[in-house]
Structure 1
Amino acid sequence: MEEHDDAHFYDAVHFHEEYQLTHIVDGRGTLVVGQNSYPFRPGDSYLFGRNLPHVFKKEVESRADTKKVRAHHFSIFFSGDALVAFLNQVPESSSIHELLRCADCGLKLNKRQSSKLLSKMKRFQHLDDFDKLLGLLYMLEAISKSTNHTALTTSEFKNLHFDEYGTQKMTEIFNFIESNHSKKISLANIANRFNMNPSSFCRFFKSRTQKTFSQFLIEIRVARACELIREGAHNATETCFESGFTNLSNFHRQFKNVIGMTPTQYKNSVSTFLA
């Protein structure tokens, strides 16, 4: 169990073998998960599966009280293998098995479950180990019985398993892309940075993401463009170049390929959130 209450969320893309159940108490911004991005607000809850890249990026605000806005969340991390081994002895646990399967894509929990989760997580941190197991099962069962949770990524990220070397290397690669996506990143340069030749890097990257490097980079840049559009302070040209694209026509084409609508249509679709 982890409670984080500070000025910032952990702001590096990361992934781990444990499942992660998180409730946002305070703070808002952008959740990047896999190749997608979504706005998050206080009261939102998420369940992340194993080895699913994600990061919460707090919104930077210009108000005078910016320093008073906290990044406050509760998270529970648990081993999927240990839990599944226990659940295999309980025939009535099929709904939790299905929930964990779906969590490999990442889930945003529906509002009804989110509103109930905070009090349970606050109590959780004061329990002994056995009661924590029971408490976790009660939470997962309640979530699994509820409907209308939102999948955050496609099935392409499911069942991607990493050895220790692959986990560390992919974390470094994800963080490098996240920090430098607005700059020119050639395949030769990134392969050399991680001590591989381009062919080896391509095989390594695709075996662990089910995507080519160029496809993944485009999707990260589009995710950043979505974030800028939601902020509402950038025109199309600024959004294009700040997200890493080098010309407007290519930006519009790639944005529509990934999101399924033009940047203008996307801005209109999130106008309620921006208001």
Structure 2
Amino acid sequence: MRPVPAKILEGKENEVFDTKVVNSPYFSTLFHFHEECQINYVVESEGTRMIGDSIESFSHDDLTLVGSNIPHVWHNTEKYFIETENNSVAKSITLFFHPEKVLNILAQFGNTKKMADFFQLSKRCMQFTGKAKSEVKPLLIQLADEENVLLRLSLLSKILHILSQTKDYHLLTGAGYTNTYHLKDNDRMDIILKYIFSNFTKEIELKLVADMIHMNKQSFCRYFKSRTQKTFVEFVNEVRIGHACKLLTNIDYRVCNLAYDCGFNSLSNFNKFFKKAKGLSPREYRMKYTTSPLSIKVS
């Protein structure tokens, strides 16, 4: 899936920010990037989100900040594309803002170093939790409906102030991540990622995926790592671990077959990779992220 450059505020050159409300059967699967920073609140939906080199499952009530020119996509689970009768919907509110234009405005009133530092940190991309998320959600909803220019500016200021001051977040991308995608990549990465996101619970053969974009295995491995900064196996396993984390936080889910439900061919490989990726065993992860952990056997 190649990320394409998007012009979010095209035709609105004098505008510093804008909002977008999505209420559709599923989110767009276009992998893209743009100069504007993006604060995204998922009201309702679930699937896999890829931001830079971060691959995680997402669900409702997810609040993230994507920095300038960082490739990203929210890809819904398969049911959103094939089970139209189940009334699954994808709802989100997104605030786009141009960081340089915001800083130029703020510079008229004082020192902008702290905000500039925050915008630089946003290139690592951030997921917000706790009090900060609770405070920002109603402001985003209000901003999406507000038409008065002064009130909109006030709401933007409040949102940026809260997010730039809080410690209720974790960084999503690696410290050394850079956007290495090229516009000449055509549609090869689109084919690869859509196939992975749709088939990660099953065995995925490297040769099959390489054949899909007419490469031999060696060339494909070099190509894939140059674009994602991960080996193919690492990438697929991170998608699977993200799905496992979602299952573990559902206290109604019985985890005796967790490894196999996520596409791993052995329990020992699953436990080993999960601990490496999350720094916790599956048991410890569930106890940390649920208030009423079930008695489970995962190792």
Same fold (TM > 0.5): yes
Does structure 1 residue 150 correspond to structure 2 residue 170? yes
Change (3 A) 1:209 1:225: same
> How do 1:85-234 and structure 2 match up within 5 A?
86=104, 92-121=111-140, 122-124=142-144, 126-127=146-147, 136=156, 139-156=159-176, 158-166=177-185, 168-231=187-250, 232-234=252-254
Find the counterpart in structure 1 of residue 284 from structure 2.
265
Displacement of 1:119 in angstroms is 4.4
Contact 1:52 1:105 in 2 (8 A): no
Contact 1:16 1:52 in 2 (8 A): yes
Contact 2:45 2:89 in 1 (8 A): no
Matched AA of 2:194? N
Displacement of 1:245 in angstroms is 1.1
Contact 2:57 2:243 in 1 (8 A): no
Displacement of 1:167 in angstroms is 7.9
Summarize deviations over 1:185-214 as a string: whole Å, max 9, x none: 222221221222323322222222221111
Contact 1:5 1:72 in 2 (8 A): yes
Displacement of 1:31 in angstroms is 5.9
Contact 1:30 1:38 in 2 (8 A): yes
Change (3 A) 1:187 1:152: same
TM-score between the two structures when normalised by the length of structure 2: 0.70
1:137 & 1:164 partners in 2: Cα distance?
34
User: Can you give the 5+ residue segments of structure 1 that lack an aligned partner in the other structure?
Assistant: 61-65
2:178 & 2:149 partners in 1: Cα distance?
28
2:126 & 2:48 partners in 1: Cα distance?
12
Summarize deviations over 1:103-123 as a string: whole Å, max 9, x none: 223212343333333444333
RMSD: 3.8
Change (3 A) 1:194 1:93: farther
More helix by share: 1
Contact 2:103 2:116 in 1 (8 A): no
1:163 & 1:136 partners in 2: Cα distance?
33
Find the counterpart in structure 1 of residue 22 from structure 2.
4
2:154 & 2:227 partners in 1: Cα distance?
34
Displacement of 1:52 in angstroms is 4.1
Summarize deviations over 1:59-87 as a string: whole Å, max 9, x none: x9xxxxx978864331123455x548847
User: Can you give the 5+ residue segments of structure 2 that lack an aligned partner in the other structure?
Assistant: 1-18, 80-84, 295-299
Q: How many residues get paired?
A: 264
Find the counterpart in structure 1 of residue 94 from structure 2.
75
